[in-house]
Amino acid sequence: MREIVVVIPTYNERENLERIVKAVLAQPLDLSVLVVDDNSPDGTGEIADRLAAEDERVAVLHREGKGGLGTAYRAGFRYALERGAQYLFEIDADFSHNPDDIPRLYEAARGADAAVGSRYVKGGGCENWSLFRWMISRGGNLYTKLVARTKTVDTTSGFRCYTRRVLETIPLDRVTSQGYAFQIEMTFVAEALGFRIVEVPIVFTDRRGGESKMDFDIFWEGLKVVWGLRRKYADLLKG
């Protein structure tokens, strides 16, 4: 496994997986791809295994069932760290994030502790979103900044690059959120530990294929998690 590892969690992404893996591997970086599949009933895991057999830069971590985004990333991070990864990416399988932005996030992370692909800094944006969806997303980030007092503008972004030092320092067992709340919690903890997060402008595009995983439970979890972050991590804030 290379020092740069792109972790792609999947559940029913057979329409997108092969294309996204090939697009990631086409980047001008010496990197590996780790697919973390939650026993997708549509055969995504089998496609991942075939891609791994065809290219030694691809690895697959199979999980027993749908455990949520947060646990998938935690499992993927541990797997990659154990195999020497120094820079670990998060990216969606559905092309909402443009793989061509990976080199920019990598360069930003090299000069900081982590890089976040941000929709809400100058130069960033969203495509093919309704006004309502944009308002929910933007409002959620403003709500997080107000309640949790985060510095990062786009705390819910799922396109990121962490350095090894960040992920080895963050107490991953305590980060129990799922959905986009996982991204909020990881951002909050990284900031509480004093790590420097750089935001890189990206354009987020609605998924090209498959079905969205967003639902009301994920949205509600985000609202609840934000309220409890400062209490949950009071020990880190004191430090």
pTM of the model: 0.92
The pLDDT tens digits for 8-38 are 999 999 999 999 999 999 999 999 999 999 9
Confidence band of 124 (pLDDT split at 50, 70, 90): very high
**Domains of the chain, earliest start first:** 4-238 (3.90.550.10)
Q: What type of residue is 20?
A: I
Average pLDDT in the chain: 92
Confidence band of 51 (pLDDT split at 50, 70, 90): very high
The pLDDT tens digits for 57-80 are 999 999 998 888 999 999 999 999
- Asked whether 164 and 81 are in contact (CB, 8 A), the reply is yes
Write down how long the chain is.
239
Tell me the H-state helices in the chain: 17-25, 44-54, 69-82, 102-110, 131-148, 164-169, 179-192, 216-232, 234-238
**Residue 82 pLDDT > 60:** yes
Secondary structure of residue 111 in the 3-state scheme: coil
Comparison of pLDDT for 136 and 81, the residue scoring more? 81
Comparison of pLDDT for 129 and 36, the residue scoring more? 36
Average pLDDT over residues 77-90: 98
**Residue 235 pLDDT > 60:** yes
Which pLDDT does position 217 carry in this prediction? 63
Distance of alpha carbon 63 from alpha carbon 66, whole angstroms: 8
Confidence band of 133 (pLDDT split at 50, 70, 90): confident
Comparison of pLDDT for 100 and 140, the residue scoring more? 100
Which pLDDT does position 210 carry in this prediction? 47
- Asked whether 35 and 48 are in contact (CB, 8 A), the reply is yes
- Asked whether 132 and 145 are in contact (CB, 8 A), the reply is no
The pLDDT tens digits for 166-222 are 999 999 999 999 888 999 999 999 999 999 999 999 999 975 544 554 555 656 566
